[in-house]
Amino acid sequence: MKRPYPSIIFMSALLACTSPADKKDEAAAKTFSLNNKKIIVYTTAQNSDLRITQYGVLEFKPAPQPLETEPAVFIDPGKTFQTMTGIGGAITDASAETFAKLSQETQKEFLTAYFDQKNGIGYTLARTNINSCDFSSGSYTYVADNDKELKTFDIAHDEKFKIPMIQQAISAAGGKLLLYVSPWSPPAWMKDNNDMLQGGKLKPEFRQAWASYYIKFIREYEKRNIPVWGLSIQNEPMAKQRWESCIFTAGEERDFIKEFLGPTLHKEGMKDKKLIAWDHNRDLIYQRASTILSDPEAAKYVWGIGFHWYETWTKSSMLFDNLRRVKEAFPDKELIFTEGCQEKFNLDSIGNWSLGEKYGHSMINDFNSGTAAWTDWNILLDETGGPNHVGNFCFAPIHADTRTGKLIYTNAYYYLGHFSKFIRPGAKRIISSSSRDLLQTTGFINSDGKVVVIVMNTSNQELPYHLWIGGQSAAVKSLAHSISTFVIE
């Protein structure tokens, strides 16, 4: 992203002779050579015009054993972990309806900003809703009431706004965008409360019809040149919401997977679709994952466990250790962040720097806990934080002021971009370990061999530290309330 660059404030590395211990450190990173490598730095910082701005080129220099008084981020590309699937956001009805109100020029700006890797932040993953959700202008389904055989199934509703936007997003992403789909509720007549809202449960007699519903939806989207990569079983299955919602206990979700949805996907030639269980907060994730994945007949259909970040509504902090427990117990299954946003929209707070820092904190810790894919919530909302048919207005990384036709970029957009622009599908997480809690960090090595290290500083202090790898280091100053991406190439 081209902006006027301010003067570079990076310090040159300390020069020192290497010791035998340093030689052993170099050998530990034998899978990655620093020969002829440079470090390109990109930074976003509060109280500056830095927004994913190239902010310097560094070189590694020989360095001694770091002292406890010298803050450092230790990088080890020789230790690799999960493989990245993608990073992206949700194209909801609200996003698509807002997008449709923009001029063609502004629509192009928006699509480039999100999906172009060179001139934007290079999203590679997307999610959309099956039937309506809270971020729809009203409740809807795709079938007539009591049509158990789904003969009336018709996605005409989505063809007005959502499908055209998804098609344009795929094009802007270079023709490939992994899309997964999620329901908030079955049709009211399939549920025991006869309402799409306020929770309720799927009636047993409609479990097969509901399983077939996913198949119908996927087929109709794929007829319109929108490949579907995966699906989750139910958005937030333990939440009774004033909007579209449906309750599944862990046992009920397990049984629905193994007796209906899993076999139906296989029977209908869709066994390659990635099936995502849970799709709710980190608090109960281990109980849900263990109930489903400890059953071989259910586990064989499941690709991964999805999660949200809203466990904070209980006054808890984000529970990253619960993700680690799931990955430790079930290492052959993937973790995917399926939704998160800042709630309670207020236009006066749209410039609040904490918006982006919340994303950075979650993404760094989610990735370090084993997460392989990360999906933001609405990629676009209007100046009210909607549309939303139940008044649940929220923040998005980009808002469109439909009164002026202009886009408003929050700092969350840039914080997301520090990950999505540089960590590409196929990248493997590596060790990036900080000696100070004020410096949060994660690292990846892309399939082209480039190492990407992200360091975030949420403090009010400017913090000097060293990037250290295999006995060599580069000295850096981290600006207050900043995030930096280091690309070693």
State yes or no: cis peptide before 387, omega within 30 of 0: yes
Does 236 participate in catalysis according to the annotation?
A: yes
Burial of 344 (0-12, 13-18, 19+ CB in 10 A): exposed
The answer to whether the beta carbons of residues 231 and 181 sit under 8 Å apart is yes
Q: What sections of 90-206 are H helices per DSSP?
A: 93-100, 104-115, 156-160, 162-172
- Give the DSSP letter string of 382-422: ETTS---TTS--B--SEEEETTTTEEEE-HHHHHHHHHHTT
Residue of 220, 253, 311, 339 marked catalytic: 339
Question: H helices then E strands: how many in the chain?
Answer: 13, 21
Which secondary structure element, helix H or strand E, spans residue 337, and what is its range? Answer: strand 334-339
Q: How far is CA 442 from CA 77, 88, 279, 413, 485, in A?
A: 12, 18, 24, 19, 10
The answer to whether the beta carbons of residues 380 and 400 sit under 8 Å apart is yes
Spatial CA neighbour of 416 closest among 102, 115, 47:
115
283, two tokens: 């608090």
Spatial CA neighbour of 482 closest among 185, 43, 7:
43
CA distance 178 to 126: 6
435: CB partners within 8 A, 6+ apart: 66, 68, 71, 72, 73, 74, 465
Spatial CA neighbour of 408 closest among 419, 418, 398, 416:
398
Instruction: Note the residue count of the chain.
Output: 489
Extended strands (E) in 176-226: 178-183
CA distance 117 to 174: 9
CA 81 distance to own-chain centroid:
18
Residue of 220, 236, 253, 311 marked catalytic: 236
Does 489 participate in catalysis according to the annotation?
A: no
Helix (H, G, I), strand (E, B) or coil at 157: helix
Q: Which residues are catalytic?
A: 236, 339
